Each structure stands twice: as structure tokens, then as C-alpha cells.
Chain A
């Protein structure tokens, strides 16, 4: 039995856990890995033209796994914190893959909604394990192990690594070299993890900044508690999990003395971001941290983004010297 996990969207949030869970149950895990040119082209061709870039990429990743696996693991993650839900596209993700692409392998689409029942995540993994005909103790054991790995992953994020790096470190035992250097400027790059960490569509903004001698922090690097403690006055709360996190994290960064600039990275065609970006702007108009939004799409060239980044960095440097 080979289980496929597309290397997009939730990959950057839950891959360590999922991989360990299945491997503990003696199931081979195959991932589509890093985004390639071909995946982008396939996704753009097969997904609806009006879909957002990340969903198109997900289509491309799913297609790359089509003939290599027996089942695709695309859980329907509705709500994980009993408060906010995921963007409607996540809610319909398994259905879009199942009905929107021809000849796909069967999709495991267990539903996780912590508003329904207690221990919803555990229940979902139990159901998945039973689907694979594994005994309850075996599944429980695998679940426990997978949580341990996930914790390790979170610790790496807290210490300043980005998800893709942390995944590499967890599984390939690559020796960690520190990514935060003291004495440098620090920028916050805010946005959804599956946009920031997809090196192909984000044209590797994080490493570009690092090469310019800038420390980079993202919402993944702050503890959930600090995120939760931020308040923003948008009357109604953002009800999408990722968007809520981006707004709160931006607030957090904007209040830090050591943050020299904030960049909001958003995807072309993203519905929630149209509102998130506007709220960030409104929030930030009262603060003095330099801010820039960058919208990326499947054709955003290295050149264009690079130029804008450099201009922004120069502006911040000048401002800093002037003070």
C-alpha cells in the first residue's frame, strides 16, 4: 500500500506527523516533493482558471502522484481549534480532486472538526488506521509517535527555521545551522505557509532576503500563545484559520521593536487575502513599520519580485540610517 501526500497546502503544516503516522503503520508514504515547472503547468491547465494559485499547485501535485500511489491522503480539515475554520477551498479540497480530475486514485478524506466532538483529530486518525485494516493498539502507537515528531517539528519552527527546512531536518537529519544572525536587520514575511514556503511560486523570497543579509521571521516562528494573545479590531473576527493567524501575527510583529519591515505575501486569486490585506493596511496605517504587499502568481518572474524586494530593502535601510 502506497499513500500519496501532495507537497502543497497542508504539507507545510502537517507533513511530519502524517508521514510518521503512516510509516509506523507499515505503509509507504510518497510525496510529490518540491513544486516543479511541470506541476505548475499541469495545475494551471487542469484546475479552474479562476482558482487561486495554491489550489492550482495542489492539482499539479496530486497529478504528479496519480500513477505512483494507491491512495491519496487529503483529509477534510474543517476546524482544528474549535473557533476558526479553513478557507472554503480546503473544505471542498478532497471533492475537487476527486471530481475535478480524471482517473485519480481513491482519496482518503477523513473529516476533522474539533467543534463536533472531543479528540476529533485522534478519531480521524483512528478511522484512517482502521481503513488500512490496522489494529487499534497499532494505530494508537503510531498516533503517539507521530505527535512526538510533530512536536519536534514545532520546536524547530519556534527556533527560527521555516517549515520546509524543518521538515528536512526532521527526516534527513541535516545538521541545523542557525538562520538568525544577531546584528542584522529582521523582516517579517507574513502570509500563508503554503505560499511563503513554496520555493517555486514564492520565488524563494525568504532566502533572497537572507542573502541580502536580513533575518526572516514568519508567522510559523511565533508561539501559538503569542499569536492567540494578539487582538485586532476588525469588529468581526476573521473566521478562516490561516487568515486569522496572518492578521494576528502581523499585529505581533508590528509591535516588536526589533522588526524593521513587514512583507505580506499573498496569492493571485485568493479570496480571503483581499480582505486580509486591506485589514493589515488599515492596522498599519497607525504604525510606523515599513510595509509592502507582494502578490505572486504562477508567472511572477524572478526579476520582477527581486527588483521590488531590493527597492524595499534599500528604502528600509535608508530610513534606518536617517533615524
Chain B
């Protein structure tokens, strides 16, 4: 019996599960990455492999345990290691005696044939092209709803009156979206969820700090890999705006809010005129755009040994100085501890707060 699975990445599994089931596949849900996932992944990956590769490796082993034998993932574009992950995973898994297959999706615009062939392999229900497109659209809409709710949780959490309400509520309304099926149901569930989140009692007087979050896509999108940093920051009274979402990172990011209407690429240009792969240039561009919007600070998240983010961090020193915006970087791996991270974040938040209060005092009212 064929069983399909895929790597866990934030809440996105809810949409992928629906899509794959619609196409007639039996789906094994990937568990949220845990200590066990990390241990498995670390044990079977090269020491200096990037952190996402290790987590995904662990995740694969877990779903294989539950019977999965066909794994679906996305390839990487651009000159970075991500493009080689699938190959490395496949080889390693086979060496371990698991006869699995991996289907790698490349961006459809660049590899249309590969895309169609892959979709066909995942379509045992033999749906028509039209029906498939319908399913993909619905899945996409669900992803958008999930992203939206996450964004709202980032806005509300720092202002909540009672610590923990937002997280609890967010978990509850996610299930509403999860069980919605038709497009209409998804839209309704999303609207109801937004309403419900807005009812959370908030303190509007609080001094809220605005923080931009940049970095590598996997550790940005998978809270289990970044030790729920957004929640920690929210609890410290910081509103986090993340530079990347699954439904948002493909479109051209023109930031309307900056008066110049600059693209991320333009913003980064004086510092890094080259596309270096991964999301290195985005990290620089987004930092500059956040600075122009008067954000109070930046957190950069990167996997340990991440090549593009190392280049970006080196250059961000200068950006931070030129725009006088503090930047804190976390290079994450299996050894990163939550306590240490929280301590560093607290110190960083204090620094941002002091800077903000000083600026407020200096400014003539």
C-alpha cells in the first residue's frame, strides 16, 4: 500500500494533507519536530549539514516508521544546498534500508514538465486537470488562511491582558480552518477565527516594540526549529513582523509602506548587489526596509553554518550601523537552548526599549 508524507513546516501540513487526500492518496501526517526528531536527524546527517536538513531527515524517519513510503518535498532554486537535500535524503534513507521514493517539486514556472509529471504521480484518484487545479486552489486558500491567522497572533500577543490567551485561542481557531473543506467554508472559518481572535482582551496603552524578523526560510517558518521565538518575543511585548510566509515569499515583495516603494532587491543593492542563493540578499533588503519604517530592531534567524546568512550577517553589521538599528542573530542548531535564547532576547528587548524611550524624550512633543 502506498502511503504519502511530507516534511512538517509550521501549520502548512493542514493544507497539504487536504490536497493530497483529495488527489486520492493515503497520507501519513508528519509529527511536529521534537527532541526525538532532532536526535534521529542528527544521527543520520553529516555533522555540518544545515539544520533544516537534519530536522527533515528526522521527520522522514518518523513518518517512515508510521508506514510512509513516498515522500513529497520541494527542491531548491538558486545556488544553495537545499537543492541537494532530496538527493542526500534519498541516498541516506536507502542506505538505512528504507526503499522510499522522493518526489521533488521544482517551481512550476521553471520546470513545467517536471511539475505535471509529479502531479500525475500523486493523483491515484485520476482526477481531471480541471479538478486538480480546483484542489490546488482550495489548498492554497487554506494556506493563506493559516498564514493570516499566524500574522494576527503576532499582532495581538504583545498586547494581550492575560499571558497565554492568544496562543490558546490561536490553537483553537486553527482547528476551525483545519476542518473547513470547500472554499466557502474556508473563507467563513477564517472570518470567524479572525473575529474570535479580535475578542481577546488587550491593553492598548502598552509600549509595544516593533521587530522585523529576517533569515532563512525553514527556520523562519517552523516554530519548532526556532524554539517558538515569536511567542517568546510576543510575551516580552514585541510585535513581530516576519519577512516570509509560505503564501507570500514567491510574490515580488514591493513594500508599499516605504515611501520609495522599493523592492527588497533594490534596498539590498548598495550592500549586496548579487543574488547569493538562499535568502541572504532578502535578509539584507528586508532589514533596510524595516529600518526605513522605523522598526525598533531586527532578529535574524539562520541555521548553523548557513552560507548565505553568514554572508548576510557580515554585511548586516554595516547596515545596522548605517541605519542605527540593532540586529540580533541566532545561528540555530540542535544544541541551541531555550533558556539561553530567552536571556539574549530579554537583553535585546531592554536595549530596544531604552532606545525607543530616549528617542521619544528627545523628540519635541
Chain A positions near chain B (C-beta within 8 angstroms): 47-48, 50-51, 76, 78, 85, 87-89, 91-92, 95-96, 99-100, 111, 234-236, 238-240, 269-275, 277-279, 282
Known interface pairs A269-B48, A282-B91; 10 further A-B residue pairs with C-beta atoms within 8 A, sorted by A's residue number:
A50-B310, A50-B313, A92-B276, A236-B86, A271-B81, A271-B305, A274-B47, A274-B49, A275-B49, A278-B92
Which residues in B have some Cβ–Cβ distance to A below 8 Å? 46-50, 75, 79-81, 83-84, 86-88, 90-92, 95, 271-278, 280, 304-308, 310-315, 317-319, 331
Contact across chains for A88 and B88 when beta carbons are under 8 A apart: no
CA distance A91 to B307 in the complex (A): 11
| CB of B217 to closest CB in A, whole Å | 15
* Cα separation A96 to B317 with both chains bound (whole Å): 10
Chain B contacts of A87 at CB under 8 A? 79, 307
B315 contacts A50, CB within 8 Å? no
Chain B residues with CB under 8 Å of A111's CB are: 274
Alpha-carbon gap, A76 to B276, bound state (A): 11
Docked complex Cα distance between A99 and B81 (Å): 25
With A48-B314, A95-B271, A99-B314 known to touch, is A88 a contact of B84 (CB < 8 Å)? no
Number of A-B contacts (CB under 8 A): 111
B48 in contact with A92 (CB, 8 Å): no
In the assembled complex, the Cα of A236 lies from the Cα of B84 at a distance in Å of: 7
| Pairwise interchain contact A88-B48, C-beta atoms closer than 8 A | no
Query: A47, A50, A92, A100: which contacts B304 (Cβ < 8 A)?
Result: A50
Residues of chain B within 8 A (CB-CB) of A238 are: 84
What residues of chain B lie closer than 8 Å to A89, measured between beta carbons?
Answer: 307, 310-311
9 A-B residue pairs with CB within 8 Å: A88-B80, A92-B314, A96-B311, A234-B84, A235-B90, A274-B46, A274-B305, A275-B84, A282-B91
Chain B: CB-nearest residue to A281: B46
* Distance of A48 Cα from B83 Cα, bound (Å): 25
Establish whether residues B87 and A47, one from each chain, have CB atoms under 8 Å apart when the complex forms.
Answer: no
Chain A residues near B79 (CB, 8 Å)?
85, 87-88, 91, 239-240
B88 & A269 in contact (Cβ 8 Å cutoff): no
In the docked arrangement, what's the CA distance between A48 and B331, Å?
11
Residue from A47, A50, A88, A279 in contact with B276 in the complex, judged by beta carbons closer than 8 Å: A88
Q: A95 near B277 (CB under 8 angstroms)?
A: no
Q: Are A91 and B313 in contact (CB under 8 A)?
A: no
A270 and B314 within 8 A (CB): no
* Inter-chain contact A236/B83, CB cutoff 8 Å: yes
Complex alpha-carbon distance, A279 and B85, angstroms: 12
Nearest CB in chain B: distance from A237 CB, A: 9
Which of A76, A240, A271, A275 is close to B88, meaning CB atoms less than 8 Å apart? A275
- Determine how close the nearest CB of chain B comes to the CB of A232; give it in whole angstroms: 11
B50 and A271 contacting across the interface, CB-CB below 8 Å:
yes
A88 touches B314 (CB 8 A): no
Contact B48 A273 (CB under 8 A): yes
Contact assessment for B317 and A88 in the assembled complex, using a CB-CB cutoff below 8 Å = no
Contact B272 A95 (CB under 8 A): yes
| Residues of chain B contacted by A234 (CB below 8 angstroms) | 84, 87
Q: Using known A-B contacts A275-B81, A278-B46, determine if residue A91 contacts B317 with beta carbons closer than 8 Å.
A: no
Q: Which 7 A/B pairs are nearest by Cβ-Cβ distance?
A: A99-B318, A274-B48, A92-B311, A100-B314, A271-B307, A88-B276, A235-B87
Residues of B within 8 A of A96 (CB): 311, 314-315
A275 close to B46 (CB less than 8 A): yes
Q: Which chain A positions have C-beta within 8 A of B278? A: 88
Which residues of the partner chain A approach B90 to less than 8 Å between Cβ atoms? 235
The answer to whether A48 touches B81, judged by C-beta atoms less than 8 angstroms apart, is: no
Residue with the highest number of chain A CB atoms closer than 10 Å, among B48, B92, B277: B48
Centre residue among A50, A88, A270 by max chain B CB count within 10 A: A88
Distance between Cα atoms of A21 and B105 in the complex (Å):
46
Separation in Å of the A49 CB from the closest CB of chain B?
A: 9
Question: Is there an interface contact between A91 and B314, defined as CB atoms closer than 8 Å?
Answer: no
Q: Which of A76, A88, A100, A282 contacts B277 (CB 8 A)?
A: A88
Nearest CB in chain A to that of B304: its residue: A50
Interface centre among B47, B274, B305, B315 (most CB of A within 10 A): B274
> Is A278 a contact of B88 with CB atoms below 8 Å?
yes
List residues of chain B with CB within 8 A of the CB of A100: 314-315, 317-318
Minimum distance in angstroms from B73 CB to a CB of chain A: 13
* Cβ B46 vs Cβ A51 within 8 A: no
Given the complex of chains A and B, what is the CA–CA distance between A99 and B311 in angstroms?
A: 10
Contact B95 A282 (CB under 8 A): yes
